[in-house]
Structure formats: C-alpha cells, structure tokens
Amino acid sequence: MQNEEYKAILVGLQINEDIRYSMEELEGLAEAAGVEVIGTMTQSLERANSATFIGKGKVEELAEMCRNMEADTVIFNDELSGMQLRNIEEAVGIRIIDRTILILDIFASRAVSREGKLQVELAQLQYRMPRLLGFGKSLSRLGGGIGTRGPGEKKLETDRRHIQRRMDDIKAEIVEIKGNRNVQRAKREKAELPIVALVGYTNAGKSAIMNRLLEGVDRQDKVVLEKDMLFATLDTAQRSIKLDTNYEFILIDTVGFVSKLPHSLVNAFKATLEEVMYADLLLHVVDASYEANEFHIDVTNKVLKEIGAGNKERVLVFNKTDLLENDALPTTDEEYICISAKRGDNFDQVIDVIKKKLFSDRIIAKLLIPYDRGDVSSYLCEKAKVISMEYVESGTAFEVELTTADYSRLKEYDTF
C-alpha cells in the first residue's frame, strides 16, 4: 500500500443509532491507511440487506457516485460477509473493503514485535476463513492493495486445511510467548510491585504520558514511540517507575481502542490485553480536545468490559488540555484529572492519584523476627518489600514496607 494513492468513498448504514462519530472515525482510519476520502454515503434502514448490506437502489447510486468521482475504493463502516463483498463489488466494479479489513491492514503495517505480527496474522486468517469464496475472488483479481498486507493473497490460494494448520501454529506460538509473559508476571507478583495500566481510545496520548512519567524519574532512556496518529503503537510497553518516596510500580502502555474493534482482533490481542486484567489501577486517558470525547469513553468502556476488565478501579485522565479553547474543562461525575502531556501540566496530580490509590495503606516498619520464627521471615521476604535485612544476636532485623493489614498481624515484632 505504500507509495500508492487510493481515492475512497465511505459508506455507513444507520440502524437505530447515530453513526456520525463512527463515520468520522472511519475517515481517520482511512487516512491512517494512506487513503484519500473523496466522498461519503449513508443510509438508514431497520436492518442490513443480507445480499448487499445497503439497499439495492443505494448500491446503484453508489456505483454511479464512484464513476462520477473516479473513486477506486469503497470502504464500508461495518463488517461485510463474503457474499456481500462479492455482490457489491460486482455491482460497483471497484475494490470493496469493510471496516475490519481496514483496521487489520493498519495493524499489519504497524506491528513490530514477533507477537504483534502473529496476532495480526491470526486475526486476518480468522476473518478470511469464512469468506474464502467471495473474498478470495475479489483479492485474486485486484492483485494486492488495502487488506492484502501480511498473509495476503498467498493464503487465499491455499485450501482451508492449510489455513487452519497455520492458525493452529500461530496460536501455539502465541501461547509460548504468553508463557514467557507469565514468568515475568510471577516475578512482579513476588516483588509485590503494583501495576498501573494506561488505557483509552487510540491517539489519546497514552505513550506521551508514559514518556512524561519516565522523564520525571530520570529514565529518558526507556521512552516509547509516540506519534500523533491512530494506532501508532501496537505492542504493550512495560516500565518500572520508582517515585521519590521509594514507592515503585509497573506502568503499562496498552494498544489503543477504537469503536467496532473487530472481534477477531480482540481475541488475537487478548494475550496482550490481559495485562490490563492484572492491573491494580487503570488510568483511562481521554482526548479532552475532542468535542465528542464521551463517545471515546464509551468505546473504551465497551472494550474493557469485553476483555473482562470493566470493574477495575480507574481514574479518568483528560489529556491535551493545551488544545482546549477558553479553558473549557470537561464535566463528569467520575473521578478525573486534567493534564497536558505536551506541556507537562498537572503531572504532580497523576503521581498523587497513583500514590493515593496504590500506596495509601502502606507503612514502613522495623521488625525484629526471632530465629525460631523462620516462617515469618520467609513471609516478609516473599510478600513484603524489604528495604534492609540484618542478622543480629536475637533474630533478623527487617526494615520493610507493609500493608496495614500485614502490619497489624506482625506488630508484636515492632522494635519501637
């Protein structure tokens, strides 16, 4: 798709809901894929047409619109079946792709890590498997372009069993990578390091926030990629943050969300997204400058619920306040803070909320554990954060950071 220019018409079907924002989002996705949007068409129906998705008359209108505007691509705002893809393309005569193909293509172009590439390929194959008849015919004639990145047509030339074998191989490799992540997670749990996950709509500024926090603790060497574009990064980044109070936590930057995120993609990325499941706190990053940011909030909440993280404790972080006109701050009943990752505004509030949510029940104590209570010493070494440990005549002297619950059980050993 690089070095090629596509001119596309976007098509949306409205069924009992306002699709203005998802159509606006579709245009952003098209631009992220290097497509010039030259027109838009929408239709309201009670339900989608099983053969052509939109009505027959609308398909004829679309064909004429494409001829008049010299479009070479049509992008639908919803996922189409193989039959719908084939029927619409035969009627219109140019490349037809749907929202899922477009998102998968963007993900394929942005995947960097081995796991990311495997997850995207798996999602592509899961999408194409039931569409080999109609979808395959379309791609074999078009010979490349949007939607053929990654496994592309070479996979469509093989039979279903070969595709299924490839999917099984990818799943096995992802499981192996997941096993390595579980080992890393076990080490974190042993170290009792809490986890803060940055979640939110794509391009809300999660990576920029992570980099600001890293700079604040003098770890500029660990900054992550940040760009003003949809899905700039797909890989989950993890960084250790140690505050001036000696409190330490793991900060995770996750892949951004988007409305109507393909189910196959959510499933493929579950191994990565499950890191959110283990987080102690979610910082839900929202672009404060976007007029309809409630739409972005709803999108994120739906995806969090889908992956099983809907009930996690979270704080809304309205970013990009430097772009607000007349300092018009958002209004919401939820707990929130307003920041600017670009200018560094109010990052002390980000640190304060993390301390409050994660460390308010932590105390530092000096304990003297008798040698005949090796079980207590082992518990402290395994479950508490040991600041110092010294063997003295009457036992093991610890300086440890404990939860208030642990301290109440062990206060008999306090040396003060």
Q: Which residues are annotated as a binding site?
A: 200-207, 231-235, 253-256, 319-322, 340-342
* φ, ψ of residue 30 in degrees (nearest 5): -60, -45
Give the residue ranges of the annotated binding site for GTP: 200-207, 231-235, 253-256, 319-322, 340-342
Distance CA 178, CA 393 (A): 46
First to last CA, the chain: 69
DSSP state of 198: E
**What residue numbers does the annotated binding site for Mg(2+) cover?**
207, 233
H or E stretch covering 146: none
For the sheet with 95-98, list strands across it.
35-44, 6-14, 73-76, 95-98
Tokens standing for 315?
């704080």
The single-letter DSSP state of residue 236 is: P
Q: Which of left, alpha, beta for 6 (phi over 0: left; psi -120 to 50: alpha)?
A: beta
User: Which residues lie closer than 8 Å to 281 by C-beta, 6 or more apart?
Assistant: 194, 195, 196, 197, 312, 313, 314, 315, 354, 357, 358
Instruction: Locate all alpha helices (DSSP H) within 129-205, ordered by sequence.
Output: 132-142, 152-156, 160-190
Residue in the block written with tokens 């004829």:
60
Q: How many helices (H) and strands (E) does the chain have?
A: 15, 13
Q: Which helix (H) or strand (E) holds 380?
A: helix 374-383
SS3 state at 307: coil
